[in-house]
Structure 1
Amino acid sequence: MGILSGVRVLDCSIAMAGPFAAQRLGDMGADVIKVEPTTGEWQRHVAAGGATGNRINVSFLSLNRNKRSLAVDLKSPEGKALLLDMVRDADVFLQNYRPGVAARLGVDYETLSAINPRLIYVSMSGYGEDGPYRNYPGQDLLLQSMSGAMMSTGAAGQPPSPAGQYLVDAVTAYTAFEGALAALFHRERTGEGQLVQVNMLDAITTIQMQELSVFTVGNKPQTRSAEPHAHAYIRAPYGVFATSDGYISIAMASLKKLGALIDEPFFADLDDETDSWRLRDEIFACTRVRLVTRTSAEWLALFRENDIWAAPVYGYADLVEDEQIKHNGTFVEYDHPSEGRVKTPGFPIRFSKSPTTIERGAPQVGEHTREILREAGKDEAEIERLLSAGVVKADA
């Protein structure tokens, strides 16, 4: 049994951040009920990178395992009544509606906590529940742009560099996941539920605590160099360098030692703590010229033997075949009824006494509507009536 076995989560979220947070809870054993419209959650209908699927697209598949689907029309009085009835026995309610939408739907914290004072209500937003940006779209790239992070990498004079992942969504999901766990622990001690608010802007800002403190406390400007240095606040050499057959990264090497290994005499008399900042572009350029003379494997073997921090630059095809990834069991595989064999990243935390499992893959729209309604006390005649009226939908 998972560590959160017995915890019931009502997941009313969409897109990535909310569903990813709820999936984490499901991976740990919580009973996560995906509450979605009878037409299916928005993410079901948007292809990810051009990849679709058979009945479930890849994006939805990746974010909604270990969940059951209840397809219900919350805009209908009966549909909303069904959800409110389920709140009585729920432990966590998670939503990422735009500010004000939950209140309009009648599923805001004040309403639900009056029904169930022990409820943990996790509310996720782009910029906060109030304030001048409350109605702005909370999309990953837009938040990356505002976070300042794009100006910490790349070369001066070149366009800002966004991450190649939905970084803000992922960080926000983990923040919400952490908040839900902390609130559940608080409830174990006190018996009381509470409102947990998480927003994307704060989440992406606070993970830059070191960089921002260098700016706010250390008074060091965020200055990109002429060469494509990998971080505005880390000394040279620090970045990605071409070799004769690919790329490797080097991080904060001893200049004297690196110079000897790459046959660069200019580094011999440089000081790591002062010259590495003053001559950041020169150091990067010299390293760049030397590294193209040998293969990635040759440089990595030499650097690792001499305690120079270096790593290969992978694509996904390299990553999935990496020996440490395989050793760790980072990817999990399971059979899905409609999508076939699924290989996907698993849950990254190992518990010695309550390991995580995949009980089910991402559900079809309304796949579990009937069983969830039976658990809610509805008899077969009532379930058929709700289906006929279009209040709920069940997968055939």
Structure 2
Amino acid sequence: MTEPAAPTAAPEVLSGVRVLDCSIAMAGPFAAQRLGDLGADVIKVEPITGEWQRHAAAGGATGNRINVSFLSLNRNKRSIAVDLKSDEGRSILYDLVATSDVFLQNYRPGVAGRLGVDYETLRAINPGLVYVSMSGYGEDGPYRNRPGQDLLLQAMSGAMLSAGSHGTPPQPAGQYLVDAVTASTAFEGVLAALFHRERTGQGQLVTVNMLDAITTLQMQELSVFTVGQVAQTRGQQPHAHVYIRAPYGAFATSDGFLALAMPELPLLGKVIGEDSFLSMDTEVDSWTHRDEIYERTAARLVERATAEWLEAFDAVGIWAGPVYDYQDLVDDPQIVHNGTFIEYDHPTEGRIRTPGFPYGMSVTPPRIDRGAPLAGEHTREILTELGVAPERIEQLVDGGVVAAEPAAAEATPDTMPAAGVAPAGQGGPA
């Protein structure tokens, strides 16, 4: 009787693709991490002292050797720490470029050229290279030297004045929204360029900037303004979006908050006991009486508990939901079912619980093979792959051209989960 074939590991959609991640902070590293989750060999090229984010802990959340913000943006990467200002260090990078498919950087304007890692230089080494250059405002133009910081881009995008009330401060998002959408844009650009190269063999330059990313994210809102010529007008009450009819936003209840979205006014009036809504025309009055509708809705909703209102709204099909904090989110049964959060063991930081990959793939699922690396953790490994002799590697370390963790500190495959990474919930990584 023939023995059944042994199960094989799930294929990885970007297996065989090598990415050089020379980016810092959030947007670039986040994009590179997504590529690593899909199977790319991502090599994080860091300065001798480590990438900037290693030394800037978001929320003050430190770790044993890696702070939480760096840890969250740099899984599935190997690290080589090298001095690119030295001729020897730059030569090492050029050798890596010759063996790579994607180069990702978000240097300040002019820095890539000064370091000798600009697109034209690297294209001469590897014509098939997909070179991704990320910036705050664009490769050139009047704002090219402005700092590409998330809050500043949110403010400039106009989005802050699409929520809240007239006369109150603009409303920034509660997450690094511009960094996140820029990361997704860069990730998308890499995949498109790799697909083009698969067809033609031709590499190319992909430019991504934060200002365009957050602007194009507002496709619908800005078209309402530019095409529909509807002004971006905030009322006296804290409406959640100037281009969506009332009531729309977060409302206090007797024991917390709930979100209420665009109900039919007569139906809402019946449920909350507001008789003035019964004769209103939803498509007309919800715009012309926005502040009045907010005030009367708020006055009714504060009378009862969140769960009572949600049950009543659900019974008649009114769109409403709870306002969560992060603990509520982590504990939510749908989040648990989806396996939205994953867990894995990190060699220095212990058990890690963190959001996983944002979409599922039936044939080529994402995977977590390793957590965020220590600075230079894989320097010796990567140089060995380039054919550098062991004694020469130690000379480079001793000369300060590269930095390397002691060999004993290197993570080994059996310290990390296999492709079937343990999810926080029952559904597995989505």
1:288-307 equivalences under 5 Å are 288-307=298-317
Distance 1:201 1:53 in 2: 32
Q: Distance in 1 between matches of 2:249 and 2:54?
A: 38
How much has 1:330 moved relative to structure 2? 0.3
| d(CA) in 2 for partners of 1:222, 1:197 | 30
Aligned position for 1:325? 335
| 1:25 paired to 2:30 | no
Give, in angstroms, the shift of residue 199 of structure 1.
Answer: 0.2
Give the corresponding residue for 2:221.
211
Q: After TM superposition, give the deviation of residue 386 of structure 1 in Å.
A: 0.8
Shift of 1:381: 1.3
Asked whether 1:228 is paired with 2:223, we answer no
Q: Which stretches in structure 2 are left out of the alignment for 5+ residues?
A: 1-10, 407-430
Shift of 1:388: 1.1
Partner SS, residue 70 of structure 1? strand
> Cα distance, 1:82 vs. partner?
0.4
- Aligned-pair CA distance for 1:89: 1.0
**How much does 1:272 deviate?**
1.2
Deviations 1:78-106 (A, max 9, x none): 00010011101100000000111101110
Q: How far apart, CA to CA, are the structure 2 residues paired with 1:37 and 1:92?
A: 19
Q: Which residue of the partner structure matches residue 172 of structure 1?
A: 182
1:363 is aligned, of 358, 373, 376, to 373
Structure 2 counterpart SS, 1:358: coil
Between the aligned partners of 1:304 and 1:68, the Cα distance in structure 2 is: 49
Counterpart in 2 of 1:338?
348
Kindly state the Cα deviation for residue 188 of structure 1 after the two structures are TM-superposed. Answer: 0.6
1:133 correspondence with 2:143: yes
Alignment correspondent of 2:427: none
Q: Deviations over 1:246-270 (max 9, x none)?
A: 0000111111111100000111111
Match among 370, 374, 378 for residue 384 of structure 2: 374
Matches within 5 A, 1:70-81: 70-81=80-91
- Partner residue of 2:126 out of 105, 113, 116: 116
SS at match of 2:32: helix
Of 256, 265, 269, the residue aligned with 1:259 is: 269
Query: In the TM superposition, what is the alpha-carbon distance from 1:159 to its structure 2 partner?
Result: 0.5
Residue 360 (structure 2) pairs with residue 350 (structure 1)? yes
TM-score (norm. length: structure 1): 0.99
Q: Tell me which of 6, 15, 36 is aligned to 2:46.
A: 36
Q: TM-score, normalised by structure 2?
A: 0.91
Q: Deviations over 1:31-90 (max 9, x none)?
A: 000000110000001121011111000000000000000010111110001001110110
CA distance in 1, matches of 2:15, 2:305: 50
Q: Deviation at 1:302?
A: 1.1
Q: Deviations over 1:3-38 (max 9, x none)?
A: 111100000000000000000000111000000011
Deviation at 1:110, TM superposition (A): 0.4
CA distance in 2, matches of 1:19, 1:188: 24
| Cross-structure match for 1:47 | 57
In 2, distance between residues paired with 1:74 and 1:104?
A: 10
What is the SS of the residue equivalent to 2:353?
Answer: strand
1:6 and 1:351 mapped to 2: Cα distance? 18
Distance, in Å, in 1 between the alignment partners of 2:95 and 2:350 is 36
- Cα shift at 1:365: 0.7
SS in 2 for 1:250: strand
CA RMSD of aligned residues (A): 0.6
Match of 1:310 among 320, 325, 337: 320
Find the partner of 2:285 among 249, 272, 275. Answer: 275
Query: Which residue matches 1:245?
Result: 255
The match for 1:143 is 153
**1:101 paired residue number:** 111
Q: Give structure 1 stretches of 5+ with no counterpart.
A: none
Indicate which of 159, 164, 167 corresponds to 1:154.
164
Structure 2 counterpart SS, 1:283? helix
Deviation at 1:340, TM superposition (A): 0.6
Question: C-alpha separation between the residues in 2 aligned to 1:338 and 1:304?
Answer: 47
1:320 match: secondary structure: helix
Report the CA distance between 1:2 and its aligned residue.
1.7
Structure 1 CA distance, aligned partners of 2:12 and 2:334?
A: 25
Provide the residue aligned with 1:3 in structure 2.
Answer: 13
Alignment-derived partner of residue 413 in structure 2 = none
Distance in structure 1 (CA, Å) of the matches to 2:368 and 2:181: 23
- Which deviations, in whole Å up to 9, do the C-alpha atoms of 1:173-212 show, x marking residues without a partner? 0000000000000001111000000000000000101111
Q: Deviations over 1:339-372 (max 9, x none)?
A: 1110000001111011111100000010000110
Amino acid at match of 2:171: S
Match of 1:274, SS?
Answer: helix
Q: Distance in 2 between matches of 1:88 and 1:387?
A: 22
Identity %: 72
Question: How much has 1:305 moved relative to structure 2?
Answer: 1.5
Structure-2 separation of matches of 1:290 and 1:99: 54
CA distance in 1, matches of 2:103, 2:233: 43
Query: Where do 4+ consecutive residues of structure 1 move more than 3 Å?
Result: none
